[in-house]
Structure 1
Amino acid sequence: MKEVLTRDGSKTFYSEEHDETYHSVSGAVEEAFLKYAGASDIGNIAGKGLVRILDVCFGLGYNTAAALDLIWAANPECKVEIVGLENDPEILARTAEVEPAIKSYGLIREAAKDDHAYHDARLAIKIIIGDAHEEIKKLTGKFDLVFHDPFSPKKAPSLWTEEFFREERRLMSSKGVLSTYSCARIVRENLKKAGFSIRDGPRVGRRAPSTIAVPD
């Protein structure tokens, strides 16, 4: 696993197995804030006092950390519950090697340690290590935000199927928001088949938009 410096000065890593980086080389932190954490009306969601996030392919945890920054900027008293799915313990260990410009990132480092969990008065993080296809079927409850951030549809096609999106849809609240960097035709078609309405998300680091999906 090779360290890569992205254009906003933040670090990511290159996966030899998938022949891709974990984040956009245009800016890993920029992507986390704009394509994921800031892609929904997170301030209003925080106003209700409890936000539940499902982070699929947790990686270095940049997306979750960025969300925490925005949630607590909007409502410092808001409680947050996070479930992360990740199949590679090595990328979690790499959280100790990066220092992104995200205020809440120290909490991610704590959660990425041996027990893969963190709890305090306003935050609960649980990172589940295993095959996302199987682990997502075991989850219950409803999430307000879903961050869908696997390797690309070309490299990890099984995580972009109608079946997988249906599992995410099952776990979302009626006003939940799913965000993902991909706007590939097959991705959007499978989201629609799984029961989502879609719209363009932010354009960050490229001309093509990301994708925002909400339950029909």
Structure 2
Amino acid sequence: MTTNREVERGWRPVRTADGSLTALHPIHGQAAHDLEGARSEARSRYARPCLLDLVEPGATVRLLDVGSGLGLNLAAALEAVEGHGARLQAVGLELDRRALECAAAMGPDPEPGFERAWSAVRLAFVAALEGRGGVLGFGARSSIELHLGDAAAALAGDRFPGPFDAIFLDGYAPALGGALWDPPFLAALAERLAPHGRLATYTASARVRAGMLAAGLALGLPERVGRKGAGTLAGWKALDGPRVSALDRAQAAKLDRRAERLRVSPGGGKPDGGA
């Protein structure tokens, strides 16, 4: 495993405004999380919009975490689900093992409740890096299957078929490129989303939103996070109710026209129960 010194020469840990940690990518220097608050972003952009803190006690929640990175989004999901007496079954997809090594080398989060969950995730990362699998959770009820490698290739087959109650899409910015934001990959995510499920991402990119529409998903706006934009929520049915609002009509119309041009590509069919 990479030593702490080698990790520091690559991924550089930084403290964010809410006291939690994130890290800067060793090549392009982009932070893995919002510098206004990494912990806050994980909760407010991913766990809360996907309603993971409102699950029924005893339920099992299936999560697909694309771009697991430092594990903060997984920690927010674990904290929310197990905090309600439910069970999380997560699949994590991460290309760069150095991100997992960086997380394993980081110090604790200053908020005890969140640290309890993130510590479990970091231990699972260590186990996965050492080839021992990974189990995380407060009471060993929850689990993670971590795949190290290209996410698009991982979803090209039937290894992770779903359905998933929630999908987190947290790759680096669409402007940096990569298949995670392209219509075929978005269609693959849509195929794995449960009829009642929600897909959450931090980006408000029109290209990404149009790709989601082309895959047959409906869009919504989650709650804003500080001064930042709201990101994007997607699901098979029209999104309403807790923690989501509609796009304005003009914006929605532009996205529909853009999505129509993408629908000439294969993929994007709705599962049973879609609307």
TM-score, normalised by the number of residues in structure 1? 0.92
**Structure with more strand by fraction:** 1
Q: What is the root-mean-square deviation of aligned Cα atoms in Å?
A: 1.7
Aligned counterpart for 2:76 among listed residues 47, 66, 75: 66
- 1:51 and 2:61 correspond: yes
Match of residue 267 from structure 2 = none
2:204 & 2:102 partners in 1: Cα distance?
28
| More moved, 135-144 vs 119-128 | 119-128
Contact 1:18–1:151 (CA under 8 A) maintained in structure 2? no
Equivalent residue, structure 1, for 2:48: 38
* Structure 2 unaligned blocks of 5 or more: 1-10, 238-275
- Residues 1:46 and 1:157: Cα distance change in structure 2 (over 3 Å): farther
Higher radius of gyration, 1 or 2: 2
Task: Show structure 1 runs of 5+ residues with no match.
Answer: none
Identical-residue share of aligned pairs (%):
30
Alignment match, 1:18: 28
The match for 1:212 among 233, 243, 250 is: 233
Give the alignment's TM-score, normalised by structure 2. Answer: 0.73
Indicate which of 82, 98, 106 corresponds to 1:90: 98
Q: Distance in 2 between matches of 1:178 and 1:9?
A: 27
**What SS does the corresponding residue of 1:81 show, helix, strand or coil?**
strand
Count of aligned positions: 214
Q: Contact between 1:50 and 1:79, CA under 8 Å: does it hold in 2?
A: yes
Q: How does 1:1-216 map to 2 (within 5 A)?
A: 1-47=11-57, 49-74=59-84, 76=85, 78-96=86-104, 97-100=106-109, 101=111, 102=114, 103-113=116-126, 114-115=130-131, 116-118=133-135, 121-138=140-157, 139-216=160-237
Cα separation, 1, equivalents of 2:235 and 2:35: 27
2:240 maps to: none
- Provide Cα deviations, 1:156-191, integer angstroms capped at 9, x if missing partner: 342111111111111111111100001111111111
